[in-house]
Amino acid sequence: MIDFIIVGNGLAGICFAEIAMQNNKSVYVFDDNSQPSSKIAGGLYNPVVLKRFSEVWKAKEQLEIAFPLYKSIEEKLNFKFDYKIPIYRRLASIEEQNNWFQAADKPNLAPFLASNLITDELTNIESSFGFGEVLETGYLDIATLIKFYSEYMIKLNLYSSERFDYNQIKFEEDYIQYKNLQAKHIIFAEGFGLHSNPFFSNLPLDGTKGELLIIKASNLQLEVVVKSNIFILPIGNDLYKVGATYDWKDKTNNPTEEGKNELVDNLKDLITCDFEIVKHFAGVRPTVKDRRPLVGSHHKYKNIHVLNGLGTRGVMLGPYLATQLFNNITDNIPLENEINIQRIYKKMNFKI
């Protein structure tokens, strides 16, 4: 008898699997590689909403769980995927400078915003009003994490790349039968693939397509992340990840000429040196209409659960939400109302 079948080996699924195994629970993972959003994500983590200079929801609590979890995975897999790197927010006006200073004075934001502006010019970056430095930031090489974690689970015979067949689920009195596996619980961490899940497809997962570029720019010589209306993230060897677009209509994973042109135009407004596009890719982020994650148990089948809706901040949210769901299932600790799918079921007038 397995404690948890986990469907999806993106960031959400990995976080749940790791937390479960660290608590001596058995897991088995299914992932058919149909959802690329985790693999193509920018991977940045940042505790501040840089458009409005406001704190990310539960930022401190999220970081307190995320940092130790990622470090433990690095040690277990013996490779580095969490890179600490400052984010410089390019300021566009005197008004934005003033807004930065006001935000940096707030007690909840002071740990995350440097009080002095960066006025030194960055090589080949346009900025007349300087930069604000965000603290406690970095990025995860998520694609490599997924690759290494999959290989680790395959070696343990705890992983299948076959497509999960919802029709094969049989609900017994105190366990679930799935083909030749018996499990106490199933965790669905499928990202945008949730729309194909008959148990949770009625949840309001919207999905926002994002497109990114990898560019080569030998003269940029950037060692920090620069954020304006796009971000530029150095990933070594004069290569930079540039993103991202937001498209609420197109739900495909296909890169578009429109997306590429939008990124190139914004990049030309930000940097003054030549660059070459090395790669162009796209994926649909699992976003939710009320901008809160989708976590919790099915209204009828109490041993199937969802872990989804991480949106654009999955690196910080993944460990936090996975911990909440694990504690809810194993110790009956209530989920926070903001993330609990019961908020959706109540609107649907389902009996809970």
Domain holding 304: CATH number?
3.50.50.60
Is residue 148 domain-shared with residue 131, that is, in the same domain?
no
Contact between 120 and 174 under an 8 Å Cβ cutoff? The reply is no
| Same-domain check for residues 132 and 219 | yes
Same-domain check for residues 280 and 224? yes
- Mean per-residue pLDDT pooled into runs of 10, the chain (352 residues): 96 97 98 74 90 91 97 96 96 95 94 93 90 95 94 97 96 95 97 93 91 95 94 95 92 93 95 96 88 94 96 93 98 96 85 52
Domain that holds residue 95: 86-136+208-285
Q: Is the alpha carbon torsion for 25, 26, 30, 33 positive or negative?
A: positive
Question: Which pLDDT value is given to residue 34?
Answer: 80
Kindly state whether residues 311 and 229 are assigned to the same domain: no
Q: Are residues 308 and 294 in the same domain?
A: yes
> What's the pTM?
0.94
pLDDT (0 to 100) of residue 350: 64
Provide the sign of the torsion angle of the four alpha carbons 294, 296, 298, 303, taken in this order. positive
Claim to verify: residue 123 and residue 150 sit in the same structural domain: no
C-alpha distances out from residue 339 to 181, 249, 350, Å: 30, 24, 17
Q: How far is CA 289 from CA 204, 293, 294, 304, 312, in A?
A: 6, 10, 11, 23, 13
Residues 176 and 213 in one domain: no
**Final residue in a domain of this structure, among 285, 317, 332:** 285
Task: Tokens for 69, please give them.
Answer: 């979890």
Domain count, the chain: 2
Indicate which CATH number applies to the domain containing 236: 3.30.9.10
Is residue 224 domain-shared with residue 343, that is, in the same domain?
no
One domain for residues 270 and 214: yes
The answer on 265 and 232 residing in a single domain is yes
Calpha distance 245→288 (Å, rounded): 17
Does residue 176 form part of some domain? yes
Task: Out of 239, 270, 285, pick the residue that ends a domain.
Answer: 285
Residue 308 lies in a domain: yes
Residue 59 domain-assigned?
A: no
Q: Are residues 151 and 281 in the same domain?
A: no
One domain, residues 256 and 309: no
